Homo-oligomer: A and B are copies of this chain.
Amino acid sequence: MIQFKNISSEEPYLIFQDWYQEAVNAGQLRVQAIAISSYNADTELVDSRFVNLKYIDKDRWVFFSNYNGPKAQAFESNQTISALFYWSATDAQIRMRAHIEKIPAEESDAYFANREPEKNALAIASHQSEEIESYEEVVKNYQAALESGDTSKRPEYWGGFQFTPYYIEFWSGDRYRLNKRQVFTKKQGAWKSKFLQP
């Protein structure tokens, strides 16, 4: 689930909350899963992965990750990303373009301190996306971190990212590909809306 904190009351945010609730009501599993796509200018590669969106605070959309992994490197190299929900239970797609950056360190500290020790042990133990001999090694490193004691102190290589969309498309699938598409674009602080052909 996604937590809404002081969420913006601008029109695309109201529509987002409606669509989110419809997906939840329709029994969508892992409704918080969002595909974040980045471009790394150094490697010249586009890459995509699903993350768990944790909360939306005003217009900041927040998830947590390893700060040394490939996606953090891509965000450093190019701050403009795309973010994409697809809820199969309602055949609804939400496409966003946004700027991404790290959240303040204190916010990551507070979030980490309140997580389950088991999740924190993994965050501490794992060098995300680095090669490892086997899955058994992953489990071994994790158990060592869990048993080593304090799992409430956030390692500096782990924390939150926030993105703020300036483009939000609401796409709803319909019969014969007569899909409905409404786009909101933010310019000089104001959202404008238009319809697109399917």
Contacts and interface: CB of A to CB of B under 8 A. Distances in A.
Contacts of A80: 44-46
A155 to B, nearest CB: 14
Contact of A176 (B37, B121, B177): B121
A39 B198 CA distance: 21
A35 B35 contact: yes
Given A37-B82, A177-B119, A196 B48 contact: no
A123 interface: yes
Count class of interface residues, chain A: 35 or more
Contact of A197 (B49, B127, B197): B127
Instruction: Across the A-B interface, give the 5 residue pairs with the lowest CB-CB distance, nearest first.
Output: A29-B88, A37-B37, A118-B176, A48-B82, A48-B84
